[in-house]
């Protein structure tokens, strides 16, 4: 297993470290445009492997040629948010960065699976699909696991019950219009709606939608990276071990939920063949309306992005 992480910044370096700690790949290449940073961070991580008792080898480079024949590529390069910015404010810069990074990686790894992490996530995943021309099971985005993890953390904080027992699902775009589904949220099989009041659930849903912004406000110079990296690595693990976990991922819809040619967060089965199935839930009218608002927002941003890049 050879995995390339594009971007040696906060998210990329943390992804590489988690992948190596869990020995999910024999070789991990971290690529960045900055000189020295990917090499230095990779060597530092490499030197931590004897302590971690892992045989993963981590290399840093500016040269995509070394990433040749990667099995999985994780795209994290791009600008991160600063306070007051929405993910969409990154569109112009990141459409350019993501399309060029993916083009470079695809040249050397045409058979890889691509996990997109750069924001605005759904749109950057759409751009990556168009740049590579790959089918949807090979190019998809990380957002839902992160949003769900935030939601699960807040539910655990509010109830005092183990985070491990909180099961939840979030649909839609990765932004303020995301659609948490309290109806599909349980704690050890008990519906959340039996445990918390509607007001409390509403408060948690709102905090989840603004969860990324909450971290940006504290950090001031960048955005979250521990949870985003952990989420991307969970996707890799499900693929590498062919676990077939059902995880919320950003996938190109082809008729599911009534949408076509649009990347949205939906429950997907992840295995050795990437996205092996998209699971369609029976949404009620209120949930459908929330998903539509989210979809409309992503469509508008997609159109702006496609006008910015040359295919
Ligand atoms: N090619 C390769 N690397 C690049 C390029 C490029 N064209 N442009 C920028 N980078 C690198 C930067 O040099 C930097 O090392 O991308 C890295 C980004 O790292 P950070 O600034 O630390 O940002 P990070 O927190 O990792 O977020 C990256 O992930 O979650 C999303 O919204 C977030 O879009 C952002 C991305």
137 a catalytic residue: no
For residue 120, whether the previous peptide bond is cis, meaning omega lies within 30 degrees of 0, is yes
pLDDT of residue 310: 77
pLDDT of residue 291: 95
**pLDDT, tens only, 1-11:** 999 999 999 99
Q: Examine the pLDDT at 122 and tell me if it is beyond 80.
A: yes
Which position has the higher pLDDT, 305 or 251?
A: 251
Q: How far does the centroid of ligand 1 lie from the alpha carbon of residue 78, in Å?
A: 3
Given the residues 174, 212, 213, 234, select the one marked as catalytic: 174
Other CB atoms within 10 A of residue 235 CB: 26
Distance CA 142, CA 123 (A): 12
* pTM reported for the whole predicted model: 0.97
**pLDDT, tens only, 232-250:** 999 999 999 999 999 999 9
**pLDDT, tens only, 258-280:** 999 999 999 999 999 999 999 99
Q: How far does the centroid of ligand 1 lie from the alpha carbon of residue 207, in Å?
A: 25
pLDDT of residue 96: 94
pLDDT of residue 86: 87
pLDDT of residue 308: 87
Query: Which residue among 30, 67, 80 has the greatest number of ligand 1 atoms within 8 angstroms of its CB, and so is best to mutate?
Result: 80
Other CB atoms within 10 A of residue 220 CB: 8
Which helix (H) or strand (E) segment holds residue 104: the answer is: helix 91-108
Cβ(295)–Cβ(262) under 8 Å?
yes
Q: What are phi and psi of 249, to 5 degrees?
A: -130, 160
Please provide the average confidence, as pLDDT, over all residues in the chain: 96
pLDDT of residue 309: 85
Domains assigned to the chain: 2-143 (3.40.50.720), 144-308 (3.90.110.10)
Q: What is the mean pLDDT of the segment spanning 178-194?
A: 95
């Amino acid at each position: 297993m050879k995995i390339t992480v594009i971007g040696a910044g906060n998210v990329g370096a943390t992804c590489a470290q988690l992948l190596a700690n869990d020995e999910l790949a024999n070789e991990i290449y971290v690529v960045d445009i900055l000189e020295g940073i990917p090499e230095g961070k990779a060597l530092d991580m490499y030197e931590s492997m004897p302590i971690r008792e892992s045989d993963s080898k981590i290399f840093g480079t500016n040269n995509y040629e070394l990433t040749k024949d990667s099995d999985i590529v994780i795209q994290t390069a791009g600008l991160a948010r600063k306070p007051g910015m929405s993910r969409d404010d990154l569109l112009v810069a990141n459409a350019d960065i993501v399309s060029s990074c993916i083009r470079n990686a695809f040249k050397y790894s045409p058979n890889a699976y691509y996990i997109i992490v750069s924001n605005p996530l759904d749109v950057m995943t759409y751009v990556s699909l168009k740049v590579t021309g790959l089918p949807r099971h090979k190019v998809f985005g990380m957002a839902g696991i992160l949003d769900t993890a935030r939601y699960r953390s807040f539910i655990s904080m509010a109830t005092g019950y183990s985070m491990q027992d909180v099961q939840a699902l979030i649909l839609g775009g990765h932004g303020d219009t995301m659609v948490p589904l309290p109806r599909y949220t349980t704690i050890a099989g008990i519906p959340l709606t039996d445990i918390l009041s509607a007001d409390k659930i509403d408060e948690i849903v709102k905090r989840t939608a603004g969860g990324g912004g909450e971290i940006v406000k504290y950090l001031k110079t960048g955005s979250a990276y521990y949870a985003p990296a952990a989420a991307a690595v969970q996707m890799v693990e499900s693929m590498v071990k062919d676990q077939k976990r059902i995880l919320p991922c950003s996938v190109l819809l082809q008729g599911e939920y009534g949408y076509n040619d649009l990347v949205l967060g939906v429950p997907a089965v992840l295995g050795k063949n990437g996205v092996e199935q998209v699971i369609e839930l029976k949404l009620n009218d209120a949930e459908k309306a929330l998903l539509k608002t989210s979809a409309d927002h992503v469509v508008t941003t997609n159109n702006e992005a496609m006008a910015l890049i040359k295919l």
